[in-house]
Structure 1
Amino acid sequence: MPEPTASGRIDSAGTDAVGARYGRTARAKKRDRWLLIGLGAFIVVVMACWTVWAGLDQVSGSGITADSGSDLVVDAQHVKVSFTVSADAGASVACAIEAQDVDFTVTGWKIVQLPRSTKTTRSFSTVVRTIQPSVSGSVDSCWSSATR
């Protein structure tokens, strides 16, 4: 056990011996520091990659919006969906229209190619065939059909 000096401090040679005995050498401290720096850098890289991935996933950049207007259950196998699409004039647009049952299960699906137009906002209606009785219909998504 290291003895305190007259000033009350413990001799550093004794501290080094105790540190070496229990694995607290300068080499171990340096290794721990580099491990923490590496771990921190890894976390920063993972967070940056996730931010880019999540951000790009959310940005459509197409300028196309769609609003479901109304739906009408025609019979047990058909739902009429009315909707409005806003897009750049002259844009080629396609929309996915879906029908759902009371449990929100998709019972019918239809891709509608919309004609080009000089108008930016237009209204459409389409009938979706279903595999079982449905209670609603809506626009799932719209996109520029020139890019897909």
Structure 2
Amino acid sequence: MTTAQELDERYGRTRKRRLPWIIAGAVAVLLVGAFGWMIVANEMNTVGADDLGFELTDEHTVTVHYQITPPRGQDVICVVEALDEEFGIVGWKVVEIPAIEKHSEAITTVVPTVAQATTGLVNSCRVA
């Protein structure tokens, strides 16, 4: 004679354990949510910087023109470089820009050099 348990197993009526699946699903949702928030928080503090041009003032000076797009109300630090014809760094300057309330702002920075430069550019900008 067959028991009720044997009949349940034979015809697929076994009790499935749902608790591990519920826990795994909840953990997955929390991980995806945390990862999504980290991406959003990182993008909120991103500073955009675009080169607008440069002027070779003399043998030891380059003037770099650039535009920044910072988060509103945040101080910004930018690194501006002067390069020679072989793309070696011949001068650089760290510029601290106080918070601006506009969407973007054009900035001009004079970079002293140790040799003749052929270009000037913004290396990076970040929230201070």
Shorter chain as denominator, the TM-score bin is 0.5 to 0.7
The counterpart of 1:77, out of the listed 37, 60, 85, is: 60
Greater relative contact order (Cα 8 A, min sep 6): structure 1 or 2? Answer: 2
Determine if the alignment matches structure 1 residue 133 to structure 2 residue 101: no
Structure number with greater Rg is: 1
Q: TM-score, normalised by structure 2?
A: 0.65
Mind listing any 5+ residue stretches in structure 2 that lack a counterpart? 1-38
Mind listing any 5+ residue stretches in structure 1 that lack a counterpart? 1-55
Shift of 1:111: 0.3
Shift of 1:144: 0.5
Identity across matched positions, percent: 30
Q: Deviations over 1:26-76 (max 9, x none)?
A: xxxxxxxxxxxxxxxxxxxxxxxxxxxxxx9xx776221100110000000
Q: Deviations over 1:105-135 (max 9, x none)?
A: 0000100001111112000001000000001
| Inter-partner Cα distance in structure 1 for 2:106 and 2:44 | 22
Pairwise CA RMSD: 1.6
Is the 2:78–2:126 contact (alpha carbons within 8 Å) kept by the matching residues of 1? yes
User: SS in structure 2 opposite 1:95?
Assistant: strand
Equivalences for residues 1-148 of structure 1 within 5 A: 62-145=45-128
| Inter-partner Cα distance in structure 2 for 1:100 and 1:90 | 32
Q: TM-score, normalised by structure 1?
A: 0.57
Q: Higher strand fraction: Structure 1 or Structure 2?
A: 2
Shift of 1:79: 0.1
Per the alignment, residue 15 of structure 1 pairs with: none
